[in-house]
């Protein structure tokens, strides 16, 4: 099995062009990972996701752990085999959903005790359990369990939470090394699985710096920046991303979790980020909000009732090649399932195409020019309501 590796191929300013090698193939970076929460990118078939140019998808450990269960998936040979996707997969630790979805959660040093949002059953997620569950799932990249802090938080609360996340990261790394070196314990369905650490510390730069140094000392295969895009002002987020990315080693991939708009992707690539995931393109598509090269549009709007143009004249996705705004509005208003599919195809195409253009711009040392043009045209118009 091809072990995990990252190769930095070219830089243009702080922007980086690279390549992830995983047991299930290559991922060109900067990369956007469509979110496949429960083993499927909502409204799409894997074939569609692959054709759009996605080289990696994200699966949510919390959801798969509760239903159908990581042990059932391990008995099917792991997540890739179970869902029929043979390209790379990254799984999160489940922590974010425990903090935001589960009922009656109690966080202690040992881990998080919570009630399933499905049936109220009592569950426990510890740093070690999050490693074991992801080993059974067999994703190509596993994330450590970290504590997700709400914004705004005081400096003391952010410091305490960040220190706990470092202790949990150490336990997570120890557990993975135990799994790699002994045959006892959890089933491992992907022996080439990599593990990423997560830098926390809220919006406090000194705490982010301390967290980055302590996490890097644990020698993960890659590093994520967590706890952003939670309501802080956008300039503050960009500033924390830039400062944190600079503290991370050049030879490891950097993943900004849960971000963001197309404009955020461009701005964070400019600050040295290699990987992104976000529910925006897929969730907004299902709500009729479309991203285009001219800004965002809301297909519910009455002005599109007799608009025969495609969503985006510059887009060559299936939806834009075959259908008009008028038809897409009709499908949406009529509550047709096809509306979700066609809208998701377009939004994901827009995101993945943007990432492709970013990679080309870096390769030709033209990223700054691309960034300025992007700021001028896309994502500048306010959201249509
Ligand atoms: Zn399109």
pLDDT range class, residue 213, cuts 50, 70, 90 = very high
What is the bridge-based pairing of β-strands 141-143 and 5-12?
A: unpaired
Q: How far apart are CA 31 and CA 48, in angstroms?
A: 17
**384 has pLDDT over 70:** no
- Distance, in Å, from the CA atom of 91 to the CA atom of 134, rounded to the nearest integer, reads 7
Give the single-character DSSP code of 339: H
- Please tell me which residue in 12, 277, 353, 379 is annotated as part of the active site: 277
Q: List pLDDT tens digits, range 295-327.
A: 999 999 999 999 999 999 999 999 999 999 999
Distance 52 CA to ligand 1 centre (A): 10
| Tens digit of each residue's pLDDT (9 = 90 or more) over 27-81 | 999 999 999 999 999 999 999 999 999 999 999 999 999 999 999 999 999 999 9
pLDDT-derived band at 133, boundaries 50, 70, 90? very high
Q: Give pLDDT, residue 377.
A: 79
Q: Tokens representing 324?
A: 């008009």
How close is the Cα of 316 to the center of ligand 1, in Å? 6
Token pair, residue 266, equals: 């461009």
Residue-level pLDDT at 104? 87
The one catalytic residue in 92, 264, 274, 353 is 92
User: How many angstroms separate the alpha carbon of residue 295 from the centre of ligand 1?
Assistant: 13
Does the annotation count 132 as an active-site position? no
Q: Give me the residue label for tokens 């195809």.
A: 345
Q: Tens digit of pLDDT for each residue in 156-203?
A: 999 999 999 999 999 999 999 999 998 767 799 999 999 999 999 999
Q: Does 129 have pLDDT greater than 80?
A: yes
Query: What are the tokens at 185?
Result: 């314990």
Q: What mean pLDDT comes out for the span 364-377?
A: 95
The whole-number average pLDDT for the span 105-110 is: 94
The proportion of the chain whose per-residue pLDDT surpasses 90, expressed as a percent, equals 93
pLDDT band at 380 (very low <50, low <70, confident <90, very high): low
Q: Place 3 in a pLDDT band, splitting at 50, 70 and 90.
A: confident
Mean pLDDT of the chain: 95
What pLDDT was estimated at residue 381?
55
How far is Cα of residue 226 from the mean position of the Cα atoms in its chain? 10
Q: What is the pLDDT of residues 321-364, one digit of tens each?
A: 999 999 999 999 999 999 999 999 999 999 999 999 999 999 99
CA of 314 to the centre of ligand 1 (A): 8
Q: Tell me, what's the pLDDT at 150?
A: 85
| Alpha carbon distance 80, 83 (integer Å) | 6
Say what percent of the chain tops pLDDT 70: 97
**Distance, CA of 246 to CA of 243 (rounded, Å):** 5
110 labelled catalytic: no
């Amino acid at each position: 099995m091809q072990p995990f590796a990252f190769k930095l191929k070219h830089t243009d300013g702080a922007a980086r062009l690279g390549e992830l090698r995983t047991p299930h193939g290559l991922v060109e970076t900067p990369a956007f990972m469509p979110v496949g929460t429960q083993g499927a990118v909502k409204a799409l078939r894997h074939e569609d996701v692959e054709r759009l140019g996605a080289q990696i998808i994200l699966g949510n450990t919390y959801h798969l752990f509760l239903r159908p269960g990581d042990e059932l998936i391990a008995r099917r040979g792991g997540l890739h085999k179970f869902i029929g996707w043979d390209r790379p997969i990254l799984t999160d630790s489940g922590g974010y959903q425990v903090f935001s979805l589960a009922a009656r959660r109690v966080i202690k040093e040992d881990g998080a005790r919570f009630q399933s949002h499905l049936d109220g059953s009592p569950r426990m997620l510890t740093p070690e359990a999050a490693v074991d569950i992801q080993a059974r799932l067999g994703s190509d990249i596993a994330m450590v369990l970290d504590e997700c802090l709400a914004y705004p938080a005081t400096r003391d609360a952010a410091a305490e939470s960040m220190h706990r996340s470092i202790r949990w990261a150490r336990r997570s790394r120890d557990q993975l090394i135990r799994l790699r070196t002994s045959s006892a314990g959890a089933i491992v369905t992907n022996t080439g699985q990599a593990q990423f650490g997560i830098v926390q510390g809220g919006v406090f730069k000194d705490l982010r710096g301390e967290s980055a140094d302590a996490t890097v000392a644990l020698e993960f295969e890659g590093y994520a920046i967590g706890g952003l895009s939670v309501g802080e002002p956008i300039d503050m987020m960009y500033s924390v991303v830039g400062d944190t990315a600079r503290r991370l080693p050049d030879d490891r991939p950097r993943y900004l979790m849960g971000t963001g708009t197309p404009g955020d992707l461009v701005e964070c690539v400019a600050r040295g980020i290699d990987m992104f995931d976000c529910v925006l393109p897929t969730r907004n598509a299902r709500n009729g909000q479309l991203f285009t090269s001219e800004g965002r549009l809301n297909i519910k709007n009455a002005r599109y009732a007799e608009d025969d143009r495609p969503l985006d004249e510059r887009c060559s996705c299936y939806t834009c090649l075959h259908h008009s705004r008028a038809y897409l509005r009709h499908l949406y208003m009529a509550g047709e399932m096809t509306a979700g599919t066609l809208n998701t195809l377009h939004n994901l195409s827009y995101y993945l195409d943007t990432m492709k253009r970013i990679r080309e711009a870096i390769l030709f040392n033209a990223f700054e020019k691309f960034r300025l043009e992007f700021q001028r045209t896309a994502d500048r118009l306010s959201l249509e309501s």
